[in-house]
Chains A and B, each alone.
Chain A
Amino acid sequence: MNRYRVFNHTADLGVEVYGATVKELFVNAAFAVFDMLTDLDRVRAIEESNITVEGEGWEDLLVNYLREVLYLFNGNGFLLKECSITEIDPQHLKGKFSGERFDPLKHTMNKEIKAVTYHQIMVRETPARWEGRVIFDV
């Protein structure tokens, strides 16, 4: 199963994310962001940080979580390699990130992702899997 798929949205970047569980969906959403930003093969998991996010339902939680994920790079210049989620329910999430600091000599940058939008945000459980949809401003 693909972890995510990019779809067309005129000016922005639409992404569908999948997971066997909701936890996996959230892990794959973070993977999607950094897979789009950089070549992950060149990133090592050498620094760790913790994350706690709150939300009002799965969709709000996903937006708030991806805000934090994006801020890792946009605010701290940190590239995410691996991510694990230890606790999750529709109101809160706890997890661990690992990766390393962006080094222009070693890492590549594919594009800039400015922000996560609420536009057409969706998280749902289907008989087969969990699916999410997010539109990023790029």
Chain B
Amino acid sequence: MAGLKKIDECRWMVPQKGGMKVPGIIYSSEHLMREMGADESPKQVANVAHLPGIVKYSLAMPDMHWGYGFPIGGVAAFDLRDGIISPGGVGYDINCGCRLVTTRLAYEDVRERVRELIGALFRDIPSGVGSKGVLKLSPKEEKKVLIEGAKWAVDNGYGTPEDLETTEDRGAIAGADPGMVSARAIERGREQLGTLGSGNHFLEIEVVEKVFDATAASAFGLEEGQIAVLIHSGSRGLGYQVCDDYLARMVKHLGEIEVPLPDRQLACAYLDSPRGKEYLAAMACAANYAWANRQMLMHWTRETFEHVLKKGPRELGMSLLYDVCHNIAKIETFVVDGKETPLCVHRKGATRAFPPGHPALPARYRNVGQPVLIPGDMGTGSYVLAGTEKAFAETFGSTCHGAGRLMSRTQATKASRGRSIVREMADRGITIMASGKGTLHEEIPEAYKNLDEVVDVVHKAGISKKVAKLRALGCIKG
């Protein structure tokens, strides 16, 4: 997009013009900006800046790419009195997110067992398109899931109460009202609880390859050579349906929004309106469902490790480092014009990165900042970062969420035609099992931006700091 102005090494400004209420700011690097080519996401950053009640800037993280409505990697905060909430600004997969489980195992303990572990995880954890969980929830029970989130899972034997302490918002957003969730969404959620899903969702066995920040790593319980498991999943069909339902309702009432929207997918409602409040209550249900889902996936991961390695829970010491989401809208308080102001922060493909001392953090992380989990592309590994004051001041406490797509799925499929992706991964020492053959081709590593480069930008910009890098050993994909 023409007209972008470089602010410093890590930031580009989208100047305010036309109907934009605020300027846009993109966190990136020269190379990532060049690599983006004709991608229209900077225009989408400008589009978001048109929305009523937007505060300070329309932001984008370095993993930004073209989405629909909001760009992926977009962050925007809205005033509660005259601002809006947009289902498209959260995304279809409400509370898509990651959780990282640390272990007492060292690389040497599992080096020869990764294949076996991945095979067992692939068998024990339902994944793939249309996969069903082992539960068929009664409507009454499902409503409890929607209100209680991860706590429901723990109360039903999937994990321990300590797991909740290191889950963002203790695994449940307040204000969830199942009455605001359609019969269709309830139906879609009934059989999918405890399933990984497909597409870019995965479960990966990793080893901590490098520690960058010893103090934070020690607080997070990470050390080089240690085995960990990363789970990336979301709210499944229930979340997609909630987004779809509310988007359709809001599109019908576009006339109620004071400004013409540049893209119908930006359809929204005022936060202080019945429709806005109803969406927030339904979105909270989907977010809570996702937390229950990831809690169950983690529980089965623990069971599989115990079973395969014939070791008890104590010996394995599989504890939840943190669970954090990257598709969500939340009411959080920030300083605006010198005053503490509650805002509705949309993070669509962006991760919360709260600073040391923030009351939302678990006591044990209070001195080092919130753990931020950044999944990479298939078989690459991931990063653990920590939230900073600068993120709190500049980006509404937000940072990047992953590598970010570079190629479309069709381009990736074309580029990988005739190749055995499983073999290529095996040559790099990574065991992969996938339900859908198509998925592997769409998710080839070169379809994504370089994760190191994306993380270097947020580190250099100071909106989170590098704590550790993990390398993938084995992965199950939907």
Is the pairing of A and B real? yes
Chain A residues in the interface with B (C-beta under 8 A): 6-14, 56, 60, 64, 67, 71, 73-75, 77, 102, 104, 109-112, 114-121, 135, 137-138
Cα distance A9–B411 in the bound complex, in angstroms:
9
A115-B92, A118-B263 are known contacts. Are A135 and B68 too (CB-CB below 8 A)?
yes
Range for the number of chain B residues in contact with chain A: 35 or more
Nearest residue, chain A, Cβ from B411: A8
Whether A115 lies near B199 (C-beta < 8 A) is no
Question: Which A residues are in CB contact (< 8 Å) with B188?
Answer: 74-75
CA–CA, A120 and B243, complex, Å? 18
Q: Let me know if A118 and B66 touch, CB within 8 A.
A: no
Given A10-B65, A117-B265: A111 in contact with B439 (beta carbons within 8 A): yes
Nearest-neighbour CB distance to chain B for A71, whole angstroms, equals 7
Bound complex: CA A137 to CA B438 (Å) = 16
Main secondary structure of the interface of A (DSSP, over half): mixed
B303 within 8 A of A: no
Whether, in the assembled complex, B214 has its beta carbon less than 8 Å from a beta carbon of chain A, the answer is no
The verdict on B206 contacting chain A, using a C-beta distance below 8 Å, is no
The answer to whether B187 has its CB under 8 Å from any CB of chain A is yes
Which residues 86-119 of B have a CB within 8 angstroms of A?
A: 88, 91-93
Contacts across chains A and B counted by CB atoms under 8 Å: 106
Most buried by B among A6, A9, A116, A118: A118
CA distance A14 to B129 in the complex (A): 19
Q: A10-B408, A11-B66, A112-B198 are in contact. Are A118 and B237 (CB under 8 A)?
A: no
Q: Is B463 an interface residue (CB 8 A)?
A: no
| Of the residues A8, A11, A56, A115, contact of B65 by C-beta under 8 Å | A11
* A-side contacts of B411, CB under 8 Å: 8
Most buried by B among A60, A75, A115, A135: A115
Known: A12-B68, A118-B247, A118-B265. A138 touches B130 (CB 8 A): no
Q: How far is the CA of A12 from the CA of B439 in the complex (A)?
A: 13
Selected contact of A111 from candidates B67, B88, B407, B438, CB within 8 Å: B438
Which residues on the A side are within 8 Å of B264 (C-beta)?
Answer: 118-119, 121
Cβ contacts A to B, 16 pairs, < 8 Å: A10-B406, A10-B408, A11-B65, A11-B66, A11-B409, A75-B188, A110-B438, A111-B198, A111-B438, A112-B436, A118-B247, A118-B265, A119-B67, A119-B265, A120-B263, A138-B199
Residue contact B68 to A137, C-beta cutoff 8 Å: yes
How far apart are the CA atoms of A104 and B128 in the complex, in Å? 11
B410: interface (CB < 8 Å): yes
CA distance A74 to B408 in the complex (A): 23
B335 part of interface (Cβ distance < 8 Å): no
Residue in chain B with minimal CB distance to A107:
B130
**Contact A10/B39 with A111-B438, A117-B265, A138-B409 known, Cβ cut-off 8 Å:** yes
Asked whether B346 is an interface residue with its Cβ less than 8 Å from the other chain, the reply is no
Give Cα distance in the complex from A114 to B408, angstroms: 16
Report whether B93 and A71 are in contact in the complex, using a CB–CB cutoff of 8 Å: no
Judged by a CB distance under 8 angstroms, whether B320 is at the interface is no
B130 touches A77 (CB 8 A): yes
A11 touches B265 (CB 8 A): no
Q: Roughly how many angstroms separate A6 CA and B68 CA in the complex, as a whole number?
A: 17
**Residues of B with C-beta under 8 A to A13:** 409-410
Min CB distance B344 to A, Å, is 22
* Residue B7, interface by CB 8 Å: no
Pair A8/B410 contact, Cβ less than 8 Å: yes
Q: For chain B, residues 53 to 86, give those with C-beta under 8 angstroms from any C-beta of chain A.
A: 65-69, 72
Task: List A contacts of B198 (CB < 8 A).
Answer: 111-112
Q: By the criterion CB–CB under 8 Å, are A10 and B199 in contact?
A: no
Q: Which residues of B contact A64 (CB under 8 A)?
A: 248
Q: Let me know if A117 and B248 touch, CB within 8 A.
A: no
**Shortest distance from the beta carbon of A57 to any chain B beta carbon, whole Å:** 11
User: Measured between alpha carbons, how far is A100 from B319 in the docked complex, in Å?
Assistant: 45
Contact B247 A109 (CB under 8 A): no
